[in-house]
């Protein structure tokens, strides 16, 4: 498989959109596809550093840490940091960690999560806006101008992804991600819907759109089912090895897209492992 660039794919995809009989949908994964960053990790780094977690979440976070072989101390910030450290060492299950990145927000109002998410996008050595892949804003603008609907399907917490998608002027109604159940105006420790990884991405996509996507974009093995559902083009952005290996299983034509940098000029690389693949 030869590599291509985003500008070439844009020309191809805009033509496909113009030829479509009905308004087509283009589905995008978020983290490492729209931007060279992870909004869940940004959110949680900010929450832990600022000691912003709610007491409601403490027993839940401690329980997950214990299930994953750790020893909780009762401080949700220290316990979550310990779980993430275990995960980084390969000692915690990725599904458990990704789920907790949503359910560990228990006690927050939705507005409070949005506020923290926006602040986290400005924190760190680079902003989330600066981490957007070079050429991606132009692609999405061109797709919309040609008549396509653009949706985002992600494994990160729903409210954080909704705020991040605004960088591309994508409204909340076009975002499907990992949701926490809300009771009496506050998030709880229960998920509201499936884990949005693998087949879960196809499930939540179907709640947004009746027709399958004309094209889909992703970067990891978690995106395989979504890319397999695309009718005309499956686009892999700086794809991980496991996603590249799945190329023969995808019915639509596949494009391996190399994006060398972000809009801020930071170099972007093609991963050589499949670690952190659920988002």
pLDDT grade, residue 279 (50/70/90)?
low
pLDDT digits (tens, 9 = 90+) for 218-232: 999 999 999 999 999
Q: How many CB atoms lie within 10 A of CB 16?
A: 18
The answer on pLDDT for 217 being more than 80 is yes
Instruction: Say if residue 237's pLDDT is above 60.
Output: yes
- For 172-213, the pLDDT digits (tens) are 999 999 999 999 999 999 999 999 999 999 999 999 999 999
How far apart (Å, rounded) are the C-alpha atoms in residues 253 and 42?
34
pLDDT of residue 17: 98
What's the average model confidence in pLDDT over 110-126?
96
Q: Read off the pLDDT of residues 67-91 as tens digits, 9 standing for 90 and up.
A: 999 999 999 999 999 999 999 999 9
CA dist 236 → 33, 72, 118, 144, 254 (Å): 8, 39, 27, 20, 7
Residue 124: pLDDT band by 50, 70, 90 thresholds? confident
Identify the structural domains of the chain with CATH numbers, from first to last.
3-37+130-257 (3.40.50.1000), 40-122 (no CATH)
pLDDT level of residue 125 (50, 70, 90 thresholds): confident
Model pLDDT, residue 274:
82
Average pLDDT over every residue of 244-269: 98
Is pLDDT of 244 > 60?
yes
Residue 278: pLDDT over 80: no
Mean pLDDT confidence for 98-112: 98
The answer, yes or no, to whether residue 277 has pLDDT greater than 80, is no
Confidence (pLDDT) at 276: 61
Residue 226 and residue 153 in contact, taking contact as beta carbons nearer than 8 Å: yes
Mode of pairing for the β-strands spanning 3-4 and 25-28: unpaired
Distance between CA atoms of residues 46 and 40, nearest Å: 10
């Amino acid at each position: 498989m030869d590599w291509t660039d985003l500008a070439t794919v844009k020309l191809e995809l805009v033509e496909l959109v113009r030829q479509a009989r009905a308004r087509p949908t283009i589905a995008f994964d978020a983290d490492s596809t729209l931007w060279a960053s992870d909004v869940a990790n940004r959110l949680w780094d900010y929450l832990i550093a600022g000691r912003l977690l709610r007491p409601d979440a403490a027993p839940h976070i401690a329980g997950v840490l214990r299930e994953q072989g750790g020893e909780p101390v009762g401080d949700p910030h220290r316990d979550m940091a310990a779980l993430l450290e275990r995960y980084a060492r390969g000692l915690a299950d990725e599904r458990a960690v990704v789920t907790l990145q949503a359910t560990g927000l228990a006690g927050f109002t939705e507005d409070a999560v949005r506020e923290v998410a926006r602040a986290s996008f400005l924190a760190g050595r680079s902003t989330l806006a600066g981490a957007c892949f070079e050429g991606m804003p132009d692609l999405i603008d061109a797709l919309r101008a040609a008549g396509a609907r653009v949706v985002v399907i992600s494994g990160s917490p729903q409210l954080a992804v909704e705020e991040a998608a605004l960088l591309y002027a994508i409204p909340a109604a076009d975002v499907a991600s990992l949701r926490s159940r809300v009771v009496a105006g506050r998030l709880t420790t229960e998920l509201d819907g499936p884990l949005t990884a693998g087949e879960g991405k196809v499930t939540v996509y179907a709640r947004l759109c009746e027709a399958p996507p004309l094209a889909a974009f992703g970067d990891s093995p978690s995106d395989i089912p979504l890319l397999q559902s695309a009718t005309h083009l499956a686009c892999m952005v700086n794809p991980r090895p496991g996603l590249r290996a799945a190329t023969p299983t995808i019915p639509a034509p596949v494009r391996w897209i190399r994006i060398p940098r972000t809009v801020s000029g930071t170099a972007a690389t093609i991963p050589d492992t499949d670690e952190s693949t659920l988002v």
